[in-house]
Amino acid sequence: MNTVENSIAQNRAEEFGYDLWEDFVIPPFYDNLDLLTAKKPRVVVGGRGCGKTSLLRYLCHQTQFSSKRSRITEKDILNIGVYWRVDTQFAKMLSKRGFENDLWNSAFKHLAVLEISREILKSLESIANSSFESFESRDLNAFDFSILNSFRSDVPSDFTELKKFIRREINYFQTWAGSIRTTQQPVFFPLEFVKELVIEIKSQNVLFNDTDYLVYVDEYENLLVDQQRLINTWMKHSEMPLIFNLAMKPNSFLDKNTIGNESIAETHDYREYNLESYYEKINFEVFAAEILFLRLWKNDNTFKIPILPEELKSTEKEILNKRKSDPYKKRVLNAAKDFLPSTSVDEMSKDVFTDGTLYNRLKDLIRKAIKNNNLKGNVEDFLIPEFPQAGVIIPALLNRATLTEEILNEIEKLKSSKENKFNGTTDWIHNNLFGCLLLIYEPLGRFCPIYSGFEAFCLMSRTNLRHFLELCYKSIANELLNSNKKVLKTISIRSQAEASKQASSTFLREVKNFGNDGNKLHTFVLRIGTYFSYAHKKPTQSEPEQNHFSIRGNRSSELNRFMDDAVKWSVLYESRITKQKGGENKAESEDFEYILNPIYAPYFHISYRKKRSVQFSGDEMNTIVFGDFKEFQSYMDKVLKSWKISPADTTINLFTQLES
């Protein structure tokens, strides 16, 4: 793989390891999070790819005390982060199999204690191996952990031997869990083992007298209910010097009970930070561009970038404010748009009249509209190449109740620079152009420039950095393949548009692996995408760019659970809407609308812009989500008939894809 491709290809935190000092970009909203200083537990919520794991790993000891970090002070020692993510399959193995829950709960607690203890010891090594001058490797041997043998007599007191002991215990525990009936049960350690370990570290070295340990439990949603309740209990009773924090996907904090009679409550026991809501408050485009340019610069330090890489690591207020300033944002965004250029809708409209294939497609649409609606006039009467944007939307106007005489009259006004409905208050062009361009390109089997450009990439990625980087990676790979360039200063429209289709297909296939109901979610995306795909083909284009929906009326608990799961896995994004009840003075009620993840837009050849919504009844949505193939096909046949669309009008039989 070319090195420039490789610099972008890594789009998951796990691919960078635990030390992210040279790769992590401080989010502009970092100063609002207080995750390294808070004395009350924090819950970090965010969808796939939004940077939860990267943020947590940045906060933890491997990065904070990285050997690559040039300056570490005693202030940095005050809060030490410990990262813990339980293996999903192993967590599930700690249940049932004919044994009582009490056994498994104690077993899971033992595993947690061992894993967290190991990380706390590793944190001391990280500090000793860092640039911090007041604590060195020889200081590790000064610790005496003999108090821990009160939990079990063979627990060693020496630092190095204790590390080995915990490693052996973890290995033995995994062996026992896999062959529980033939292997002797280990002695389970309580949480007090970790607390005693921390107390000894704090009391035996003055540097750590005021140190707090912040445990970050990642992917909380993958734990079993009883395991979650144990972590909830630890979080509720967190106090210095041991604080428990959680990270999870949306709609994952379903059970807030503890192992006792209490439950945890926001504000009283913890504070929640939703990363995606922070991205919405800042300029996600700037943050995405900074990450892109840092990756490109790391691959080639001669690559001209509009950023200072060292500033992206800074948490200083002055630097963060600079990155939020208008001059800085303008410089970074302009550079990003130069690297990933786009085609304006005006240029795309001109292409329709200069490209033979596109021009023939436009004429065919006009011809069908005249014939199907028994209209007067010839195709040539409605071709206006001198006003390409107006010319592109003519087929939609002809398929509506708009009289041909009125259209021709408005064309004449347009040509005479008089007030007209194309660009006047009626604004035919603004309301229809994007949808009509999609309609023209759809059946041609060629790249569509609508899916290219830095701004389009950000809209398709929404707040998902992984999706953004994958779009960039595939664009660069295509450009290198198509052009044989050794130095890339800009990426062609074609390479980007092809990358959008490739990435969209990749991420759609990935849905099958989303949790226990991945196959159901995948079928749902295909079905709702099919609906929107045909909605974009409506001849009238009366409601162009439909790509989100709401559900009216009552919904079953099963449907609610499915919608929550779709939001949890970022298949859908959820947005609150308010509805007025009765009249102006009536109280407003809240409801939700759901946006199909825009990364799937290129696959279905639909708009990635949030423009128009459709309202489904509860029964219709049940058919889309839970109906069998014949039920869904029957439903779509009725819809297509009402839209005056024949399935034969599309070159891709999406129904066939649903069965595959």
Q: Which two tokens stand for residue 435?
A: 């949808």
Pair 596, 548: CB distance under 8 Å:
yes
> Rounded to whole angstroms, how far apart are CA atoms 385 and 388?
5
HEC letters along 621-640: HHHHHHCCHHHHHHHHHHHH
> Rounded to whole angstroms, how far apart are CA atoms 525 and 50?
20
For residue 5, pLDDT over 80 is answered with no
Q: What is the pLDDT of residue 651?
A: 40
Determine the residue type at 192: E
Give residue 589's Cα distance to chain centre.
29
pLDDT band at 627 (very low <50, low <70, confident <90, very high): very high
Query: Percentage of the chain surpassing pLDDT 70?
Result: 93
Q: What is the pLDDT of residue 580?
A: 47
Please state which of the ranges 51-65, 91-105, 242-256 shows the lowest mean pLDDT: 91-105
Determine the residue type at 466: R
Q: What is the pLDDT of residue 400?
A: 85
Determine if residue 151 is left, alpha or beta; phi over 0 gives left, psi from -120 to 50 gives alpha, anything else beta.
alpha
CA 74 to each of CA 119, 133, 135: distance values in angstroms, whole numbers, following the listed order: 20, 10, 10
Q: What is the pLDDT of residue 7?
A: 59
Helix (H) or strand (E) holding 151: none
For residue 647, pLDDT over 90 is answered with no
From the list 532, 525, 504, 530, the residue with the least C-alpha distance to 612 is: 532
Which runs of E-coded beta strand occur in 443-486?
A: none
> Rounded to whole angstroms, how far apart are CA atoms 137 and 183?
37
Instruction: Judge if the upstream peptide bond of residue 27 is cis by omega within 30 degrees of 0.
Output: no
Phi and psi (nearest 5°) for 580?
Answer: -80, 135
Q: What is the pLDDT of residue 587?
A: 41
Please state which of the ranges 134-138, 162-166, 642-646 shows the lowest mean pLDDT: 642-646
Residues 144-150: contacts with CB within 8 Å, 24+ apart?
Answer: 144/200, 144/204, 145/197, 145/200, 147/196, 147/200, 148/193, 148/196, 148/197, 148/200
Give the position of tokens 């009125």: 406
pLDDT band at 98 (very low <50, low <70, confident <90, very high): confident
Question: Bridge partners of 43?
Answer: 246, 272
Dihedral, CA atoms, 480, 485, 489, 492, nearest 10 degrees?
-50
For residue 426, pLDDT over 50 is answered with yes
pLDDT digits (tens, 9 = 90+) for 482-513: 877 766 889 999 999 999 999 999 999 999 99
Question: Bridge partners of 419?
Answer: none
Spans of all domains in the chain: 40-281, 284-342+450-509, 345-357+375-437, 514-659
Task: Tell me the pLDDT of the chain averaged across its residues.
Answer: 91
Dihedral, CA atoms, 178, 180, 181, 184, nearest 10 degrees?
120
Q: Which two tokens stand for residue 480?
A: 């290198």
For residue 395, pLDDT over 80 is answered with yes
DSSP reduced 3-state for 543: coil
Please state which of the ranges 6-10, 191-195, 249-253 shows the lowest mean pLDDT: 6-10
Q: What is the pLDDT of residue 578?
A: 56
Residue length, the chain? 660
pLDDT band at 4 (very low <50, low <70, confident <90, very high): low
Q: What is the pLDDT of residue 340?
A: 97
Pair 414, 423: CB distance under 8 Å:
yes
Q: What is the mean pLDDT of residues 80-97?
A: 90
Determine the residue type at 209: N
Pair 636, 612: CB distance under 8 Å:
no
Q: What is the pLDDT of residue 577?
A: 75
Q: What is the pTM of this model?
A: 0.90
pLDDT digits (tens, 9 = 90+) for 556-601: 999 999 999 999 999 999 988 755 444 444 444 458 899 999 999 9
DSSP reduced 3-state for 218: strand
pLDDT band at 302 (very low <50, low <70, confident <90, very high): confident
Q: What is the mean pLDDT of residues 107-134?
A: 97
Please report, in angstroms and rounded to a whole number, the separation of the first and last CA atoms in the chain: 32
pLDDT band at 655 (very low <50, low <70, confident <90, very high): very low
> Rounded to whole angstroms, how far apart are CA atoms 622 and 451?
31
Pair 251, 222: CB distance under 8 Å:
no
